[in-house]
Amino acid sequence: MKNSITTTVIRSLFIIALIVGLLLLLWSVRYTIIYILVAAILALIGKPLVDLLSNRHWKKIKINRSVAAAFTLLLMLAIFGGLLGVFIPSLVSELEVLSEIDVNEIFEQAEVSLLDFQERLTGKRPAPEGNKKLLRTTAERVLNFENVSNTFESLVAGLGNLVFALFSVVFMTFFFLKEQNLFRNIILALVPDTYEGKVLHVAPRLKKTLSRYFIGLVLQVSLITSLVSIGLSAIGFENTIVIGFFAGLLNLIPYIGPIIGMSFGLILGLSQSIAGEFSVAFPTLAVLIICVFSAIQLLDNFVFQPLIFSSSINAHPLEIFIVISIAATVAGISGMIVAVPTYSVIRLLAAEFFPHVKLVRKLTANLKLHDP
């Protein structure tokens, strides 16, 4: 009896030590894991084009999957390079604008406009000293460009790592595109034999769902970028592609991302107004910028997202909101970004592995697990 207890304790300690060691190993190779996941996402985005090219004959010439994968990867790199060619000159121009921003002048203009607005509402001009110091300190902290400079220096210092990361992602993406089931086989190698059948059964649906989702994200960012650029150009902005792209990327952060993007547009717009680049009055310009971002956000919430993501996620909006809130509490902004795709994967796996649990049945009632 005593020997069996000792054996159980030793076995438990060994399992705990093994788990801790595995977690430490995963943490030490976390960057490689990130590269693999990014490559897998890019492969999911490029998969439809590879399938289209490799499944057709072009004037009696059959394109094999290697050539289709290489063409797709080159196309993705060309699009990325083209975006950089458009983005970088505009970014440099906007950085010049940011470097010339006078925080005190922006604050004073905003304060005057706010006092005028309060005077119209109340009929008397309030004392400006109440929150002046706090607001000024906050504004100076937000617009502290020394922090931006330090961040830029850090990015330059890590350029070597960035080049290695890009090479690694491109290299792995090619093989994920070329070998259709490579990522699935990697997962199967880590899964016990007992569950291989279930993984093979759910894998096609999982791949289809994630592919649609990430393609939808690319489409959503493109639409937001284009509409913000067009809207701000109509107001009189120049080099709007930077603000539009920034707003499109931040839109991936649910709820708070659009607010940050609009704040960035406001800062640039109001600084250009102070510099005399706009004939529109300071308060009017602020209202116009807010209207542009608000209209596009409403369009995204009620048109783009339902049309783009409804077929891939099949989850109730309240359900998604709860998931995102939990992810924000656990992992902050990064958790909010990955919450929806992670939840989609968990739902599919739960429906396959735990179909008899009532909660799982309720949450996965709209899923079609038998799609090819």
- Domain assignment present for 249: yes
Residue 105 near residue 270, CB atoms below 8 Å: no
- Domain assignment present for 293: yes
Q: How many domains does the chain have?
A: 2
Rounded-to-integer distance, Cα 260 and Cα 246, Å: 9
Q: What are phi and psi of 6, to 5 degrees?
A: -60, -45
Does 114 lie in the same domain as 242? no
Does 259 lie in the same domain as 334? yes
Find tokens 């076995």 and name the residue: 11
Rounded-to-integer distance, Cα 215 and Cα 220, Å: 9
- Domain assignment present for 59: no
Does 336 lie in the same domain as 213? yes
Does 346 lie in the same domain as 228? yes
* The token pair that represents 260 in the structure block: 């940050």
> What angle (nearest 5°) sits at the alpha carbon of residue 58, between those of residues 55 and 62?
55
- Domain assignment present for 278: yes
Query: Which residues on neighbouring strands pair with residue 62, listed in sequence order?
Result: 57
Does 358 lie in the same domain as 288? yes
Residue 48 near residue 55, CB atoms below 8 Å: no
**Residue 255: strand, helix, or coil:** coil
Residue 173 near residue 39, CB atoms below 8 Å: yes
* The token pair that represents 184 in the structure block: 């699935």
Q: What are phi and psi of 319, to 5 degrees?
A: -60, -45
143, 153, 154, 156, 210 from 149: Cα distances, Å:
12, 6, 9, 11, 37
Amino acid identity for residue 72 in this structure: T
Does 134 lie in the same domain as 199? no
Residue 309 near residue 316, CB atoms below 8 Å: no
Residue 140 near residue 172, CB atoms below 8 Å: no
Rounded-to-integer distance, Cα 36 and Cα 158, Å: 20
State which residues form the domain around 339: 194-372
Residue 243 near residue 268, CB atoms below 8 Å: yes
Does 232 lie in the same domain as 309? yes
- Domain assignment present for 84: no
Altogether, the residues listed in the chain come to a count of 372
Mean pLDDT value across the chain: 75
- Domain assignment present for 137: yes
Does 199 lie in the same domain as 136? no
pLDDT per residue, tens digit, the chain (372 aa), is 556 677 777 888 888 888 888 888 888 887 888 888 888 888 888 888 888 888 766 666 777 888 888 999 999 999 888 877 777 777 677 666 666 655 565 556 666 666 665 566 665 555 555 444 544 555 555 445 444 445 445 545 555 577 788 888 899 899 888 887 777 777 877 777 787 888 888 888 888 888 888 888 888 888 998 999 898 888 877 778 888 888 888 888 877 788 888 888 887 777 766 655 666 666 777 888 889 999 998 888 777 777 776 656 666 777 777 888 888 888 777 777 788 888 888 888 888 888 888 777 777 776 654 444
- Domain assignment present for 184: no
Rounded-to-integer distance, Cα 283 and Cα 273, Å: 10
